[in-house]
Structure 1
Amino acid sequence: MKSAFIACACAASVATTAAFADTPVDAQPEAPEADLAIHAQPSTFWTGVWSRQNLLGDMGGLRPWLGQYGATLSITETSEYLANLRGGLKTGGTYDGLTTATLTVDTSKALGVPGGTFNVSGLNIHGRNLSQTNLGTLNTASGIEAQDTTRLWELWYQQSFLDKRVDVKIGQQSLDQEFIVSQYAATFVNTMFGWPALPSYDLPNGGPAYPLADLGVRVRGQITPNLTALAGVFDGDPLGNNPNNLSGTNFNLHNGALYIGELQYAVNQPADGQMDTGPSNALPGTYKLGLWYHNGRFADPRVDDTGLSLANPASTGVPQQHHGNYSFYAVADQMVWRPDPTGAKSVGVFARVMGAPGDRNFVSFAANAGVVLKGPFDGRDNDSAGLALTYIRIGSHTTDLDQDYAALGPYGVRTNETTLEATYQYQLNPWCVLQADAQYTFNAGAGQNPSDPTQPLRNTFVVGMRANVTF
């Protein structure tokens, strides 16, 4: 598949192709969690390629045909070029990309089973990872960085009950689609504004989040109109006993269990997808509290099985084991300014914090916060500009081990790392978004060069451009 950069660059000339004019296309939900109602569009709805919701229109009639059976096909491409201008492991740039294909089926229309949704998605990951080859930072520069492969991602069935107040999802799931999510943080490119640093480093193989998913069951219930509860149990390791599970088909239930629960409190939410237009212009917000617990065994980063430091020449080299691991977290998204309750222009802020015990985790505290301006200029209602900060604090036992080594000779002591990101999303047309991005990382590598622990890393400065295309 051609990259999103090529698709956007050629869009202006493709838009003149008469063969694509006035082609009906079914509306697409933005995420697997969206209700799967199929909205047929009149034949005159689309005026050409440039103004279509999807680059490929109705795919030669495929989308309308699928829509007859309650099915929706979504294909997206994210392509980016990021370059490190200073510091890190080396300067220079890399290209990487992600193609995602998702098929969702409304079982009410397809099978006559009301309240059911079937979802299957796959990933094609391509290109090189800037963070691994050029940066050496812990706050990895891009949320799509991963090992090149084509893999199954999610495969689940969801059934709602009690007039949609309760639903249960079972199958292979990616937790970053529902848990620990910040609406405003998703604007940014750095990985840690998506699936945060703490579970990324502390859970086995980063936990069940992009590009991995895991078998499990999730229950969601609406307690009150404002309060929703989510709870789930998943296999403890998304790679399981197959570290080379590049296909995503190693369905494993043999590595302990990961339990997660979250309470979500929403205020001043728009009704039926419309902005609040009350006289008070009440501003919407969402607040979340959650925790996860893993019942496996976790190695102490510093202490061996006899109580000696692993840096001690007399150490056995076998880490002490701790039973279980856990973390608490909080997420807040709040709109703080909207001059016109019917307009797009608004300012939203977000904050997310997480903590975990330092005696069994590489990261003991992680936080990010930022501000996003929607519709920053007149006539640019779909654009967004943002500024955000993400912070990682290294666990106490990891820092203590580094200090033990430093007492024996030159050695970098890892403490914390902070990345500042500024970004701008430009809606080129309905199916293409261009995003300019800049990131500066302070105390890169948290104070240690991963290639040579005796040497520090210089702070890094990354700039780049991302393109998102909906096919």
Structure 2
Amino acid sequence: MWLKDFVPILILLLALPSHQTVGEETADEGAGEPPANARPEVIPPDQFKPDQLPVADLHVAQPDNRLLSPWLNKDNGVTVTPIYYGELFTNAHGGIATNGSTQYEGLLDLSLDFDFEKMDLAIPGRAALLFQNTHGRGLDQFVGATQLISSIDSYDNITQISELWWELDFFDEAVTFRIGRQDISTEFITMETAGDFINSAFGLSPSAGLPSFPAPSPALIMMTDLSDSITFKAGLWDAYRSNERGIFSQNGSVLYIAEFEYRYTTARNGLPGKFSAGVTYETPGEVPAGAIPRSFGYYLQIEQMLYREADSTDDNPQGLSVFAQHYPTETNGNSPFPEIPQDGLAGFAYTGLLRGRDEDVIGAGIGWVELNQGGTDEELMVEVFYKAQINDNLSIQPDLQYINTPSGLYPSALAAGIRFQLDL
């Protein structure tokens, strides 16, 4: 979506008159992070209780040591968070081709959060904007995998405002509504324990056809905490949004989604865990490639910490966590897009395994998809990585991935690479 399509919307949000503040909101860093009232992600050390820590909440509040924080993080109601990802990958064996397959790809995320109360504006709630630019080339054309090698692979390079939404609280912050262009994987179908993996399947692959990176779409979502341990979320999205100009897709298809999230601790040793269950329903529509069929799906996710090191601290929890996901779908009719009837994910991540490297993360995982496009009609992916935290701003992550029969059609491939992340 072009920048000038969003400028009038942003002006409208900032100029909208209001005589009453509906609720208070604390601006989180990053446009893609959930609101604090809807799903507590960060627990200040003075309020920390071991039996209340969700499995994925492995990072509590720390001082902001980003390079540009003295200029960009003033307590004035506007928070700017620039992050740059760069990676160099090669297809070492198999797939479609190996010649010329060593490629560099980069992603710039520039997020802005607006806390209207801190800005002394007569507008309730908060707003967020995420600008993204990708450049370079991924391995999609060399490997041919359905589960893309990299989570920053946007197929074609993009320069766009990916997210632009407004968030309001009601009933003393008991219910939160968010409206605007959003990435569905920010709040739904996501596992934070798997967040350091590079393969797109551990986030939400563009092959899934859902309104996520690189093409989020307009949506309305609602989030509420039913209790201290249960959160309910629901939303509707403009389905199959493309990167073409315009706010809505005009294809007539709408995606509905609902998710329950249950956070708990084990009775024996108080280790945190999280279980999520969700359902999706998509209405029929029309695109140039053909008719979009009606489809229904459900997903189950679990994250569990298995071991916490004795010297683990509140501001740097260390230990072993595991995760798993299953997402089957059923389509009523022929789809013009590659069909993925079901998929599965599982893996582990260990923070602070090596002595003196308490913030480093090592992980291994496996992803499987059933396909409906010939060949073996399935694809199996295995990934291993080590993410080294060099300092407060820079991490470096060697990565190795094996893909058995990419898209069910090509010889098994071996991809190797390295990613760096620079938190500005």
Both structures adopt the same fold (TM-score exceeding 0.5): yes
- Describe the shift of the 1:28–1:292 C-alpha distance in structure 2 as closer, same or farther (beyond 3 A): closer
Q: Is 1:363 paired with 2:314?
A: no
Could you tell me which residue of structure 2 aligns to residue 459 of structure 1? Answer: 412
Unmatched runs of 5 consecutive residues or more in structure 2: 1-26, 38-62
Q: Which residue of 280, 302, 306 maps to 1:336?
A: 306
Cα distance between partner residues in 1 of 2:399 and 2:167: 36
TM-score, with structure 2 as normaliser: 0.79
Q: Is 1:263 paired with 2:260?
A: yes
Q: Is 1:145 paired with 2:115?
A: no
Q: Which residue of 103, 109, 114 maps to 2:112?
A: 103
Q: Is 1:384 paired with 2:338?
A: no
| Alpha-carbon distance, 1:113 to partner | 5.8
Cα distance between partner residues in 1 of 2:215 and 2:270: 38
Q: Which residue of 86, 94, 98 maps to 2:103?
A: 94
Q: Is the 8 A contact 1:393 1:415 kept in 2?
A: yes
Q: Is the 8 A contact 1:215 1:253 kept in 2?
A: no
3-state SS, counterpart of residue 250 of structure 1: coil
Could you tell me which residue of structure 2 aligns to residue 41 of structure 1? Answer: none
| Alpha-carbon distance, 1:220 to partner | 0.5
3-state SS, counterpart of residue 163 of structure 1: coil
Q: Is 1:426 paired with 2:388?
A: yes
Could you tell me which residue of structure 1 aligns to residue 179 of structure 2? Answer: 170
Cα distance between partner residues in 2 of 1:114 and 1:33: 20
Q: Is the 8 A contact 2:376 2:405 kept in 1?
A: no
C-alpha root-mean-square deviation of aligned residues, in Å? 2.6
Cα distance between partner residues in 1 of 2:255 and 2:271: 35
| Alpha-carbon distance, 1:53 to partner | 1.8
- Larger fraction in helix: 1
Could you tell me which residue of structure 2 aligns to residue 305 of structure 1? Answer: none
What is the correspondence of 1:48-197 to structure 2 with a 5 Å cutoff? 53-59=65-71, 62-64=72-74, 67-68=75-76, 70-91=77-98, 92-111=101-120, 116-132=125-141, 134-146=142-154, 147-196=156-205
| Alpha-carbon distance, 1:161 to partner | 2.2
Match of 1:215, as an amino acid? P
**1:384-442 deviation digits (Å, cap 9, x = unpaired):** 000000001013xx4xxx4xxxxxxxxxx241110100011100111111111000111
Cα distance between partner residues in 2 of 1:341 and 1:280: 19
| Alpha-carbon distance, 1:336 to partner | 0.9
TM-score, with structure 1 as normaliser: 0.71
Which stretch has the larger CA shift, 340-349 or 380-389? 340-349
3-state SS, counterpart of residue 118 of structure 1: strand
Cα distance between partner residues in 2 of 1:52 and 1:349: 28
- Describe the shift of the 1:388–1:221 C-alpha distance in structure 2 as closer, same or farther (beyond 3 A): same
Identity value in percent: 25
Cα distance between partner residues in 2 of 1:263 and 1:368: 19
Cα distance between partner residues in 1 of 2:352 and 2:367: 24
Cα distance between partner residues in 1 of 2:249 and 2:119: 30
Q: Is the 8 A contact 1:264 1:287 kept in 2?
A: yes
- Describe the shift of the 1:445–1:254 C-alpha distance in structure 2 as closer, same or farther (beyond 3 A): closer
Q: Determine which structure has greater relative contact order: mean sequence separation of CA pairs < 8 Å that are 6+ residues apart, divided by chain length.
A: 2
Cα distance between partner residues in 1 of 2:204 and 2:348: 18
- Describe the shift of the 1:331–1:115 C-alpha distance in structure 2 as closer, same or farther (beyond 3 A): farther
Cα distance between partner residues in 2 of 1:414 and 1:104: 46
Cα distance between partner residues in 1 of 2:124 and 2:356: 39
Q: Is the 8 A contact 1:32 1:104 kept in 2?
A: no
Match of 1:225, as an amino acid? D
Q: Is 1:327 paired with 2:324?
A: no
Aligned residues: 361
Cα distance between partner residues in 2 of 1:125 and 1:53: 25
Q: Is the 8 A contact 2:239 2:249 kept in 1?
A: no
Could you tell me which residue of structure 1 aligns to residue 222 of structure 2? Answer: 219
Q: Which residue of 228, 236, 241 maps to 1:233?
A: 236
3-state SS, counterpart of residue 445 of structure 1: helix
**1:41-85 deviation digits (Å, cap 9, x = unpaired):** xxxxxxxxxx972123424xx543xx32x1100001000001111
- Describe the shift of the 1:322–1:213 C-alpha distance in structure 2 as closer, same or farther (beyond 3 A): closer
Cα distance between partner residues in 2 of 1:341 and 1:284: 17
Cα distance between partner residues in 2 of 1:85 and 1:370: 24
Unmatched runs of 5 consecutive residues or more in structure 1: 1-26, 37-50, 270-278, 300-317, 403-412, 449-456
- Describe the shift of the 1:35–1:429 C-alpha distance in structure 2 as closer, same or farther (beyond 3 A): same
Q: Which residue of 321, 328, 345 maps to 1:348?
A: 321
3-state SS, counterpart of residue 184 of structure 1: helix
Could you tell me which residue of structure 1 aligns to residue 49 of structure 2? Answer: none
Q: Is the 8 A contact 1:256 1:295 kept in 2?
A: yes
3-state SS, counterpart of residue 267 of structure 1: strand
**1:238-278 deviation digits (Å, cap 9, x = unpaired):** 12xxx644xxx534465221111101001139xxxxxxxxx
**1:345-402 deviation digits (Å, cap 9, x = unpaired):** 210000011101265461101111001111111221111000000001013xx4xxx4
Could you tell me which residue of structure 1 aligns to residue 273 of structure 2? Answer: 285
**1:182-234 deviation digits (Å, cap 9, x = unpaired):** 111111000111104xxx445xxx22101111111100011111111100011
Q: Is the 8 A contact 1:88 1:458 kept in 2?
A: yes
